[in-house]
Structure 1
Amino acid sequence: MADLLFETDTNQIPAATRSGMLEMRDGRKLRYAVTQAAGRPLHGTVLLLHGRNECIEKYFETIADLAGRGLTVVCFDWRGQGGSSRMIRDAMRGHVDRFDDYASDLDQVFRDLVLPDCPPPFYILAHSAGALVSLLAAPVLANRVRRMVLVAPLLGLPGSPFGIKCIRIATRSLSLIGMGRRYAANSRYQVGGRPFAGNPLTSDPARYMRNIDIVRHQPQLGLGGPTVRWVSAALHAIDRVQHPDFIAGISIPTLIIAAGADSVVSTPAIERFATQLRNGALLTIDGARHEILQEADFYREQLLAAFDAFIPGSDEPENTTATEPAESL
């Protein structure tokens, strides 16, 4: 049953979807959805891992696209957001103590939901912070996941190295003196979200308003800005996955897709990271903003074409970069 999920006139729950709540080791509960493959032949199961301040409903369109490709799709809300357990009293603050908690949740989702109930082989399609968690969990996932596609992974923030260093020191210091649960910036929760004009996420007004409407209808799914501790934990996780020894241990064939016009995460940092992977490929989609799966068709279809070429695929990936100029839509 899909009674834990919410739909609007422009955002319907995909067919053959069931949902539930999965209890984690610490008692927190994650809301999940499993959508059966609609197309043939069958190709296994893909875990669709979204980013910070996102929820399952935002990916109904992508879930239907993947199911039509013969993939069973598993999607869940990370702890502290969407329909999953919130972490602190102020439910609208995006908080986590450490990114290892996300990685542990991903491991348990595999153990308790994916491995018992979903057809192999297994793949990952992850966005932004979800892609960072996937990299963090890669050593554990190596014997389970055949391939990963990471979209605009959170591997750095825009700005000067000096500025990022100051953020790292400030958030770590504030966390140590008990201020980790405060907002990292003046970014309190707003039900209506930001207006479309000037948004850094997508150039597609219809998809943008569709996603805004999800939270307007179900404000409990929304989230404000990250806490000081969340930012500190994210920067620590970025440092860990970028260590040469950690990179050398990533054995899962991985396609990284960067957004050429990304102002949320650092595209140069993503491209530098991709060149160090021993079994990785890079595609940069020129002109695309941060949320490529929510982007205009011109950009989104490039991502889906790359996904189709890589998954289920059997050839080892090669480094590629999209060089065609992007159109404004």
Structure 2
Amino acid sequence: MTPILHATPDNPIPGNHMVGFFEGAGGTKLRYAIFKSKATVSKGTVVLLQGRNESIEKYAETIGELTARGLWVATFDWRGQAGSERLLKHRRRGHVRRFADYERDLAIFLEQIVLPDTRLPFFMLAHSMGALIALSQAPLLASRIDRLAITAPFVALGAQKVGHRMIGILATTFTLLGLGSLPLMRDKGPLPFSENLLTSDSRRFARNKALTDAHPELALGPPSARWLHETFKAIKRIASHDHLTQVRVPTIVLAPTQDRLVPHLAVEALARNFRAGHMIPIDGARHELFQEADHYRAQAIAAIEAFIPGSGNENPEPVREIALAD
């Protein structure tokens, strides 16, 4: 398996990058990439954590904007999705054995890839499932990252025929019966734009669909029961007052108010107990802020740029050259 990034006509991959694999927890092969800014000095590195059923390629536009601001970007595909090793014979089924595997993968990435191969200071930008993993690890990140920005954190599941609680009961039952690798819903394939819950921007929706049409190996179908069981346990844990009071990293929570996948009220409830975090609502936006219409997306980018101190750093770290592929 050769580590490559897939470009499409509407989604070019930013240049000046390197791509490879690293071994995550249990030896699972995970695809990663580092994108170097063309600026003569580095303003730091953004560790970009994707959501479920996303890929490095999907963030090409956002990565290009961050590197244009003098920041490097380090990112990787979570286990079981995109260009990383899949965990089931049914490749389209999203699965994880233990939520802790995600956490260990992130710790390994920070230690073995980000620390030696990128530039200080470090910031983290995490979306949806990636935001849940970042929040879970946040009490341990104070010595590793300077700031944390999360978007639409996966802290509840909405837009389903049955409620979050019932889905959790079903997922736990399937898992305890040894049926955790099975999904709770049928794989209907990709939805048309008119039925999607992720973005109101038809152009970016079409761009992302063209990517997975050209490279279907990057896409996922429904999650397994065990994936739901493990993530729901993590949601309950990170939403507790005891956990949130241990978070010391300054954090912003970008919350799209028209998010039907992760109910806005659940994000508000999280923010109320989050002393280190400050919630910024993006009024009218849907779940995927970085795939949204320009007027929503620009608000998110502006908030992140204002929050990351590297954008105004007068004494950034000098760049040391490393071997990077164009």
TM-score normalised per structure 1: 0.91
3-state DSSP class of the match of 2:95?
A: coil
CA contact (8 A) 2:159 2:260 kept: no
Q: Structure 2: which amino acid aligns with 1:23?
A: E
Q: Structure 2: which amino acid aligns with 1:156?
A: A
Q: Deviations over 1:88-113 (max 9, x none)?
A: 11111000122211111000000110
3-state DSSP class of the match of 2:252?
A: strand
Q: Structure 2: which amino acid aligns with 1:272?
A: A
Cα drift, residue 25 of structure 1: 3.8
3-state DSSP class of the match of 1:138?
A: helix
CA contact (8 A) 2:158 2:260 kept: yes
Q: How does 1:178-197 map to 2 (within 5 A)?
A: 178-188=178-188, 190=189, 193-197=190-194
CA contact (8 A) 1:203 1:289 kept: yes
- Counting matched residue pairs gives 310
CA contact (8 A) 1:21 1:32 kept: yes
3-state DSSP class of the match of 1:173?
A: helix
Q: Looking at both structures, which has the greater relative contact order when contacts are Cα pairs under 8 Å and sequence separation is at least 6?
A: 2
Distance 2:108 2:61 in 1: 26
Matched, 1:18 2:15: no
Cα drift, residue 198 of structure 1: 2.6
Q: Structure 2: which amino acid aligns with 1:11?
A: N
Distance 1:89 1:158 in 2: 28
Distance 2:135 2:102 in 1: 11
CA contact (8 A) 1:184 1:231 kept: no
Q: Which residue of 2 aligns with 1:239?
A: 236
> 5+ residue gaps in structure 1?
316-329
Q: Which residue of 2 aligns with 1:139?
A: 139
1:252 to 245, 249, 271: 249
Cα drift, residue 216 of structure 1: 0.8
Q: Structure 2: which amino acid aligns with 1:86?
A: R
Q: Which residue of 2 aligns with 1:45?
A: 45
Cα drift, residue 163 of structure 1: 2.9
Distance 2:153 2:48 in 1: 14
2:278 to 281, 284, 287: 281
Q: Which residue of 1 aligns with 2:99?
A: 99
1:293 to 280, 290, 293: 290
Q: Which residue of 2 aligns with 1:117?
A: 117
1:270 to 246, 251, 267: 267
CA contact (8 A) 1:131 1:150 kept: yes
Q: Which residue of 2 aligns with 1:226?
A: 223
Deviates more, 1:231-240 or 1:165-174: 165-174
Matched, 1:216 2:213: yes
Distance 2:234 2:182 in 1: 20
Distance 1:285 1:59 in 2: 19
Cα drift, residue 164 of structure 1: 2.2
Distance 2:268 2:38 in 1: 34
3-state DSSP class of the match of 2:255?
A: strand
Cα drift, residue 187 of structure 1: 2.5
Runs of 4+ in 1 over 6 A off after TM superposition: none
Change (3 A) 1:273 1:40: farther
> 5+ residue gaps in structure 2?
313-326
CA contact (8 A) 1:17 1:33 kept: yes
CA contact (8 A) 2:44 2:310 kept: no
Q: Structure 2: which amino acid aligns with 1:264?
A: L
Change (3 A) 1:163 1:10: closer
Cα drift, residue 219 of structure 1: 1.0
Q: Which residue of 1 aligns with 2:87?
A: 87
Q: CA RMSD in A?
A: 1.8
Distance 2:150 2:111 in 1: 22
Distance 1:210 1:79 in 2: 24
CA contact (8 A) 2:69 2:311 kept: no
Q: Which residue of 2 aligns with 1:303?
A: 300
CA contact (8 A) 2:70 2:311 kept: no
Cα drift, residue 184 of structure 1: 1.9
Cα drift, residue 40 of structure 1: 6.0
Distance 1:3 1:180 in 2: 30
Distance 1:256 1:27 in 2: 33
3-state DSSP class of the match of 1:145?
A: coil
Cα drift, residue 314 of structure 1: 10
Distance 1:185 1:251 in 2: 38
TM-score normalised per structure 2: 0.91
Cα drift, residue 41 of structure 1: 5.2
Cα drift, residue 313 of structure 1: 6.5
Q: Deviations over 1:2-53 (max 9, x none)?
A: 9610001111110111100111241111101100023465310001111000
CA contact (8 A) 2:30 2:83 kept: yes
CA contact (8 A) 1:56 1:76 kept: yes
Q: Deviations over 1:269-302 (max 9, x none)?
A: 1111112111211101111010010000000000
